[in-house]
Structure 1
Amino acid sequence: MDKLGVIAVPISVVCIVVFCLARKVPVFDAFTEGAKQGLKTSFSILPTLVGLMTGVAMLQASGALDLLANALAPVMHALGLPPATAPLVLMKPVSGSGATAVLTQILQQNGADSFTGRVAAVLAGSTETAFYCIAVYYGSIRVHKTRHTLPAALFGDFVACIIAPLAVHFIFH
């Protein structure tokens, strides 16, 4: 199985090139045009990403995340969520890398096989970085009015917060 992982990307590239050649697509020209468009997209969303990363760093450094997590502890308890998962619930919609760091901390403090660790892992896998995705995807196509996207994404995260402890309890207890 290890060997398959090593050769999967080269095999995929070869298959794409063979397919393009069979369809008489100028492979190198198509590749360079796609790379050029990717760079333009990257530069267009860069200000949004810098702002988002700065905000996340300030939130973590200021201690506001910990204060908010402590304030949410009663609500978390009422939902059946371990209070230790509050920083993860707050961080995941904003930053995937920040949420991964919080998840790692939760797993180190509580153990991966604990109820808290399992709930945190389910939350990390079933919630989305809504603000980041909206910034990247809508920013790349220059959409400024996101309409129902953010409320729907946050509602999905809320549902995950309700289901995660139930799923862990049902599967492991």
Structure 2
Amino acid sequence: MQAVISMVSSWLLPSLIAVILVTGYARRLPVYHVFVAGAKGGFAWGVRLIPHLVAMMVAVQVFRASGAMDIMVHGLSPLLHWLHVPPEVAPLGLLRPISGQGSLALLIDILKEKGPDSTLGLIASTMQASTDTTLYIITVYFGSVGIRNIRYALKVGLLADFISVLASVFAVHWVTGKW
């Protein structure tokens, strides 16, 4: 079964590209020129995205370097204890909505220090996989297309991240039986 999945996955992308090329040729479209025009548009979009990316990276570095994250974890420690969230993974839960790379660095540190099969390693891995970079998404994607009124996107995104953090802790404790 694994061999079949491997074979299908290795041929899926080339097959999709072939279908697109054949369909374009059958419709008598200038496939190469359409591809170049799309690449040009993608490059322009990438250039518009750069200021938003730089602003977000600077904000994440300031948040981590200033000690604000440590202060937040310390202030939230009674709530974290009550929710059974280990303080070692709390920074990951706080940073994940802001930055994927920053939270990945924290995950790697936890995995190196505690091990991937430890309860903390399992919670951190589950948390990384089940949450999203909400503020990054809103900043980059909404900003790149000019949306200024984010309405409920921020509230719903952060609520989903909070629930995912709690669900990660609960799921790992439930599966491992370690409370």
Same-fold call, TM cutoff 0.5: yes
For 1:30, the equivalent position in structure 2 comes to: 34
Amino acid at match of 1:70: H
Bigger CA drift: 128-137 or 31-40? 31-40
Equivalent residue of 2:151, what SS?
coil
Q: Which residue of 1 aligns with 2:112?
A: 108
Of 5, 10, 14 in structure 2, the residue corresponding to residue 10 of structure 1 is 14
Match of 1:117 in 2: 121
Partners of 1:5 and 1:137 in 2: how far apart? 29
Consecutive unaligned residues in structure 2, runs of 5 or more: none
- Of 42, 45, 51, the match for 2:46: 42
Give the superposition deviation at 1:85. Answer: 0.6
Q: Over residues 102-154 of structure 1, what are the superposed CA-to-partner deviations in whole Å (9 max), with x where a residue is unaligned? A: 11111111111111111111110111101111122112211011000000000
Distance in 1, matches of 2:38 and 2:139, equals: 21
Q: Partner of 2:81 in structure 1? A: 77
**Unaligned 5+ residue runs, structure 1?**
none
Give 1:9 shift.
3.4
Decide which of 91, 94, 104 is 1:87's aligned counterpart. Answer: 91
Q: Distance in 1 between matches of 2:28 and 2:176?
A: 55
Could you say which residue in structure 2 is the equivalent of 1:64?
Answer: 68
Q: 1:79-104 CA deviation, whole Å, 9 max, x = no partner?
A: 11111011101110111011111111
User: Residue 166 of structure 1: CA displacement?
Assistant: 1.3
The answer on whether the counterparts of 1:119 and 1:164 sit within 8 Å (CA) in structure 2 is yes
One-letter identity of the residue aligned with 1:144 = R
Moved more, 15-24 or 118-127: 15-24
Does residue 55 of structure 1 match 2:59? yes
Query: Structure 2 length as normaliser, TM-score?
Result: 0.87
Range moving further from structure 2, 63-72 or 34-43? 63-72
Counterpart Cα distance in 2 of 1:147 and 1:87: 27
Report if the CA contact (8 A) 2:99-2:136 is conserved: yes
Q: AA paired with 1:104?
A: I
Work out whether residues 52 and 144 of structure 2, in 8 Å CA contact, stay in contact via their aligned partners in 1: no
Q: Report Cα offsets for 1:47-92 as digits up to 9, x if no partner.
A: 1211111111122223322332233222222111111011101110
- What amino acid maps onto 1:112 in structure 2? P
TM-score, normalised via structure 1 length: 0.90
Secondary structure of the structure 2 residue equivalent to 1:83? coil
2:92 matches 1:97? no
* RMSD over aligned Cα atoms: 1.8
Does residue 149 (structure 1) correspond to residue 171 (structure 2)? The answer is: no
Deviation for aligned residue 1:7: 4.7
